[in-house]
Amino acid sequence: MSGEFLDNHGRGSASWRWPTVHPEGRKFGAIVLGAAALAALFGWSLLAWPLLGLTVFVLAFFRDPLRVVPQGPGLVIAPADGLVTLIQQVAPPRELTMDDGSGTPALSGAVVTRVSIFMSVFDVHINRAPVGGTVRRVIYIPGKFLNADLDKASDENERQHILVDDGNGLMVGFTQIAGLVARRIIPFVKPGDIIAVGQRVGLIRFGSRVDVYLPAGSDCLVLLGQKVVAGETVLAEVGRQLTREGLSQ
């Protein structure tokens, strides 16, 4: 079904399939599997079985399932799988608003809604573009490895800012943030790349968070505590403002 158009009237076809494993994870899976095979060869079954289980976990962690990406003007799509842990009014990071001397557009420094999505080690860790357009900035910042669920992780942890300009006046910035276990942020894109909404743009190894800065004049369409799906869940629609409420049960 990859590349096929599907709609809410039944057009297209869909069926369940095993998710592929991203190439970044295949080498880790091969290393652990090799260690399990070596342990089995020497008769160390007490070590071989846990290593075999770890191989399955590693391959599952790097799974890369297909997603059906909503299409439409002004839609901002979730860039990460996980739990919405923070929805706050903040100014965007300086790296996304400052004049970097390149002449490329930047975000306004005005206060906007920031949606923070926490990824546990059980979530898919492939990150996707919240909007389509031209990648204006990819800025990596080394830092700490605090719990990614903490508010201050946005300013103190290892992180990577990405700014996408759709060419029609809509720019969305988002930040990949390393966590306690995550130790590397891997980009798939660079400044100047033209990408589609929902396209894979990077991954973070082993538990982390992604912050999205919604365009001004747009309310968040997801709820605090809600699970979202990268490339599928609509976080906001430009110009649409409303209050939504939910009940935990």
Q: What is the pLDDT of residues 98-129, one digit of tens each?
A: 887 777 788 888 999 999 999 988 899 899 99
* Residue of 116, 154, 208, 218 marked active site: 208
Mean pLDDT across 19-47: 89
Instruction: Output 98 or 152, whichever has higher pLDDT.
Output: 98
Q: Distance between the two ends of the chain, CA-based, in angstroms?
A: 35
Query: Alpha-carbon distance 219 to 74, whole Å?
Result: 12
Q: How many other C-beta atoms are found inside a 10 Å radius of the C-beta of residue 159?
A: 27
Using pLDDT thresholds of 50, 70 and 90, give the confidence band for residue 85: very high
Judge whether 158 and 144 are in contact, CB under 8 Å: yes
208 is catalytic: yes
For residue 111, the model assigns a pLDDT of 93
pTM: 0.86
Whole-angstrom distance, CA of residue 163 vs CA of residue 123: 24
**If you ran DSSP here, which 8-state letter would residue 144 be given?**
B
